Structure 1
């Protein structure tokens, strides 16, 4: 028999059935736990730390204007995660930041909410 003829059945081959469920030998770990915890930290603490780090931005002379980040808000997403997935869109939410602009010469302040990103 020639080696090119591979259509014959091999009687020594053991059939495996993957349709039946068997309990795993060990507990399967949740593989996204670290990513979920990292995202939770970013939302609860990380963004606040970044805004505090960059807060109190002054003009080049440091004598005319000063911009301070007061707080931030993550608004509700436009679509829920299932709709975004089915429409092949990004699951995103608007980031709005409340800032305070101080005019150091005239000693006035203006506070306003601005849109930063989706």
Structure 2
């Protein structure tokens, strides 16, 4: 499938006042932010992890990156697979008593990739995330009943 731009034909005699916004722009920008910054913020909240005493060993988060996806979008769809990229995370294990450390890269799993159209391919099927507005709760009324009296 190609990602050709669709030419817009305007049949109106009045030119539009505002450009038509992209409806998937929110989804793609949110996903891009999560991949670039959000995941790092999340991992930074969890790490470092210390041992029970907090004095001997510590596991520190250093960095992460995505490898190239194994299959393209079209190939993932044909194989009934998921369009994903391997997520690799770099850690450092520090042993405080000996002042030694060891850096290691860990495979964290397949990370689903968003297509330029704002959807995901899971098990060969396109899946879209649907944004929903959740109505905030209003006022709650309670009633206390003591010995059949309000």
1:92 aligned to 2:87? no
Q: In structure 1, which of residues 105, 111, 114 is the aligned counterpart of residue 97 of structure 2?
A: 105
CA distance in 1, matches of 2:11, 2:109: 44
Aligned structure 1 segments of 4 or more residues deviating by more than 2 angstroms:
22-31
Aligned pairs (5 A) from 1:1-118: 29-118=21-110
CA distance in 1, matches of 2:20, 2:47: 44
TM-score by length of 1: 0.73
**Following TM superposition, by how much is the alpha carbon of 1:105 offset from its aligned partner in structure 2, in angstroms?**
1.6
**Following TM superposition, by how much is the alpha carbon of 1:86 offset from its aligned partner in structure 2, in angstroms?**
2.1
Instruction: Note closer, same or farther for the CA distance 1:24–1:53 as it changes in structure 2 (3 Å cut).
Output: farther
Q: Give the alignment's Cα RMSD to 1 decimal.
A: 1.9
Runs of 5+ unmatched residues, structure 2: 1-8, 111-150
Runs of 5+ unmatched residues, structure 1: 1-21
CA distance in 1, matches of 2:11, 2:77: 31
TM-score by length of 2: 0.58
Q: Which has the larger radius of gyration?
A: 1
More helix per residue: 1
Aligned residue pairs total 97
CA distance in 1, matches of 2:90, 2:45: 15
